[in-house]
Copies of this chain bind each other. A is one copy, B any other.
Amino acid sequence: MNLKDLAKALELSQTTVSRALNGYPEVNEDTRKRVETMARKLGYAPNQQARRLATGRSMSIGHVIPRTLHEMMNPIFMEFIAGAGEAYSRLGYDMIISVVEDRQVEATYREIAAKKKADAVMVHGPRNNDKRHLLLKELGIPFLVHGRVPGAESSTSWIDVNNTRAFERATDLLLDLGHRRIAFLNGLENMDFAIRRRAGFERAFQNRGLAPDPSLMRQSEMTEPYGADCALEMLRTDKPPTAFLVSSMISAIGVSRAISLCGLEIGKDVSVITHDDALSFLPNSGEVPIFTCTRSSVRYAGRRAAELLIEKILPDPDTRIEEHLEAELIIGRSTGPRQR
């Protein structure tokens, strides 16, 4: 069942049928109704490939995931994808995901451009010396960055959590509670978001004329053992931290395991604040959440990002988008005044 058949069945030209279905004005309202009815009756759906070829638009958005990124960040990433996916299917777009080796990222983008595989791409996990935005501009593919490319904030479209502010506020809270020896378990600091979080952490100290203890600051992939191992090691020194600021729920769970192992009580002997991406399988909710946290739904970010990106490709690809999401600071059971 293709357009030709449908047109024949209706005794109309392909032109008219096509226009009727695509909502063009130069077709009689009665005809349109008739066409739509028949289309539904015969189960007609335009062949995606043909339409794409004819219109030149692929109606799909590309996501290129280098291995280093998907290797570890993946639960958070998945949540973002889930959000974006919702928006895409609502708006009639396809999401195409390419999981590739790091060194193939550039080739993959070039292929997307050359073969016209996608109308736009989403850029994930911007890093220190990220060059992807330059490549994409060269290739002329519209894109949106989830996060910010350092140094290119004002020349790219992006959506990002206000990481600096979130972590500054979290640190402020710990300082207000009397903590001074605050451990900071950050994500890998070649990632832009981690750099910003660190800046927030340090700024809070500076604002009070204090300085964080460098020996309590770590960075790594945000796994559970990372949290546990760091916390264990730190808690066993003679000058253990009285509080932890952690970049991810997953690592925070590790920290909390370590605290238990040391026979200490979380929220009493040791305070913990974590950044909570609102991962569905790690709900930190309830009346009083387990962890005090800076919370920002990454799924929402995904949904919003998808909407913005599609908006961007529609009328004028040159409009630049900046969207800041603020994280909430939510008090849970893992923080309390300094005891020792």
Contacts and interface: CB of A to CB of B under 8 A. Distances in A.
Given A45-B115, A49-B53, A75-B279, 16 more contacts: A45-B111, A47-B116, A48-B58, A48-B115, A65-B82, A73-B281, A77-B78, A82-B99, A89-B104, A97-B97, A222-B281, A223-B280, A224-B282, A225-B283, A250-B282, A260-B260
A9 interface: no
A47 B43 contact: no
A199 interface: no
Interface of A: 43-50, 52-53, 58, 60, 65, 70-75, 77-79, 81-82, 85-86, 88-89, 94-100, 104, 108, 111, 114-117, 221-225, 250, 253, 256-257, 260-261, 279-283, 290
Nearest to A55: B49
27 contacts: A43-B114, A44-B114, A45-B111, A46-B115, A47-B53, A48-B115, A52-B52, A60-B96, A65-B82, A70-B82, A74-B78, A75-B78, A75-B279, A89-B98, A89-B104, A94-B96, A95-B99, A223-B280, A223-B282, A223-B283, A224-B281, A225-B283, A250-B281, A253-B257, A256-B257, A257-B260, A260-B260
Contact of A98 (B85, B224, B225): B85
A96 B99 contact: no
A106 to B, nearest CB: 13
Contacts of A281: 72-75, 221-224, 250
Nearest to A58: B49
Nearest to A53: B49
A280 B45 contact: no
Contact of A78 (B46, B78, B253): B78
Contacts of A88: 98-99
Contacts of A98: 85, 88-89, 94-95
Contacts of A279: 75
Given A45-B115, A257-B257, A283-B225, A85 B60 contact: no
Contacts of A257: 253, 256-257, 260
